[in-house]
Structure formats: structure tokens, C-alpha cells
Amino acid sequence: MQTPAPVDYAKATSVAHAIELLQQLGDEARPIAGGHSLLPMMKLRLAAPEALVDLNDIPELQGVRIEGDHIVVGAMTKHRDILESAILHEHYPIFREAEHVIADPIVRNRGTIGGSACQADPAADLSAVGSALRGTAVIQGPGGTREVPLREFHDGPYMTVLEPTEVLVALKYPIRPGAGSAYEKVERRHGDWGVATAGVFVVVRDGVVADCGIGNAAVGAEHYCSPGAEDALIGQPATEESFAAAAKVAGEQCNPSADQRGPVDYKRHLTTELTLRALRRAAAASQGA
């Protein structure tokens, strides 16, 4: 089936307007961002919203900025703008590394960070990044604004904690002076969804891992994080042995399924190896290497 079912369409001009439209159009209305996940699902009749509320003309949802000690990324910021953002690159090179391996320029020119988060695909690269960085989702609805840690934003594969009349407005990431970060991904061909991925940040002080965050996509971790591996590393010396021990925990505690991308053991092995590589590079960057 290549043609979506008939659907009503409305263009929102502000977040308040989008919420108003979602309320008016009822529970079967959905926001549309870049459309790179929603439209294919509609064509395949895996999704059949009765109305679409277009978020593309809402200026307040665009762009990357610093607010106090956080970087704030508007939900409608496109992959391409994240790839090219000097602010993100200065504080967290992990974003550019992840964007380099997300799809292709056509997808990156329209797909958005908010759409990626709300689609909640277990293989979404930016969800692993957001969980690794312990970011926060800023959500607006009829009752006002609330913030949810990204590690609690996903409620299972393809599910989020958003109510039908709520809009994801931004994602916030704490700035951590001295942090190094890195992203690693194995894909079957360039730009494909990952077989397994690992994103990390590490802060090393006086040779000790003072803080770290570890996120893995495509290996079944519904919240894309590996707290057991983080616990194993924080407070340990920044050595190959410590990184290997933490990476081993990430591989053991992820929950992949066997599919056309490979069997479970292979994905666990990749998770361990990619986490190790990312930790090494992030720790070296934190130490100014």
C-alpha cells in the first residue's frame, strides 16, 4: 500500500496554536515534523491518524542555544543543523559523530531531533546520545510545561510518555566542563540503522572517572542507557581495565533481539566493543589528548 488514507491537515504557527489544534482535532490527530518516519508508516497503513498538525512553521521550536548551564535544542531542529552546530560540537562532539552516521542528506535535511525522540525507535541514534548525556525533554500541553528526564521519556519501543495533546518543545543537555564524548556505531552499510551503537561522555579528574554517561541504541534498551556500566566506572581510575570492565557490563545488561541484522550474541559483543572504543576516545578527549 503506497498511498496513505485521507487525512485532515492543519499548520500550526505557535506551540500554543499546535496544542489548541490537537485539542480541537481529537485523540486521532498527530503532530508532524519532518515526516520521515510518520509518512512511511502512513503509506504502509501502520499509522492512520485522522489529522496532522504541522509543526514546521513554529519559530520557537527551532535552533540550538545556551541557556545558563544547559544547551537547549528546539524539537524542530533538523539533523543537518545538529550536524553543523558549533555550540553542540564545542561541548559535545558526540552529536556530530552520531549525525554523520544517521541516514543520508535527504533524511537529515528534513528529519528532526524531536521527531526522532517521539518516534521512539529502539535504534534511534540521538536517543542513545540523549540518554548518555542525561538530557531532559521539555514538554508543553494544555496544562502548562513539564520536564521529563530523557531516560524516562520513552515508555517502550515506539512509545513515549507524551499525552495526545502535548508537544515536545525542546531537549536540554547539561554542560559539563572538561567532558569528552564519542559515538560508535556498526551498520550494515553507511547511513543504515545500527546493528549496535554506543554513545558516551566521560569526565576524568586527576586520573579518575569523576562522571560518565553511557547510551546504547538498537540493542533493546528501551531507555537507551546502561546505568550498571556507569556505576561500574564512576570513581574508578581512567584505565583500559576500568573501561573494559564497564563495557563488559554494558554488553551483559543490554537486551537485543535476533533479527536480520544479527544474532543476540553478536549484538552483545558489539555493544561491549563499541562501548569500550567510545569510552577510550571520550576519556582521552577529557584529558586533553
**Residue 254 corresponds to which cell in the numbers above?**
543490554
For residue 37, state whether it binds ligand FAD (rule: CB under 6 A). Answer: yes
**Residue 126 corresponds to which cell in the numbers above?**
540521538
For residue 181, state whether it binds ligand FAD (rule: CB under 6 A). Answer: no
* Cα 187 to chain centroid, rounded: 17
Task: Report the nearest approach of ligand FAD to the CB of residue 119 (Å).
Answer: 4
Tell the burial category of 35 from Cβ atoms under 10 Å away from its Cβ (0-12, 13-18, 19+): middle
Here's the x/- map for ligand FAD, 133-172, by CB under 6 A: it reads as -----------------------------x----xx----
Contacts of 27 (CB under 8 A, 6+ apart): 164
Out of 119, 131, 136, 286, the only residue in the binding site for ligand FAD (CB under 6 A) is 119
Residue type at 69? D
Taking the least distance from each CB to ligand FAD, the nearer of 107 and 148 is 107
Give, to the nearest 10 degrees, the angle between helix 240-253 and helix 264-286. 140
Taking the least distance from each CB to ligand FAD, the nearer of 74 and 280 is 74
For residue 72, state whether it binds ligand FAD (rule: CB under 6 A). Answer: no
Part in contact with ligand FAD (CB under 6 A); list of ranges 111-119, 171-179, 229-237, 270-278 = 111-119
For residue 216, state whether it binds ligand FAD (rule: CB under 6 A). Answer: no
Footprint of ligand FAD (CB under 6 A): 30-38, 55, 75, 102-103, 107, 111-112, 114-116, 118-119, 124-126, 162, 167-168, 192-193
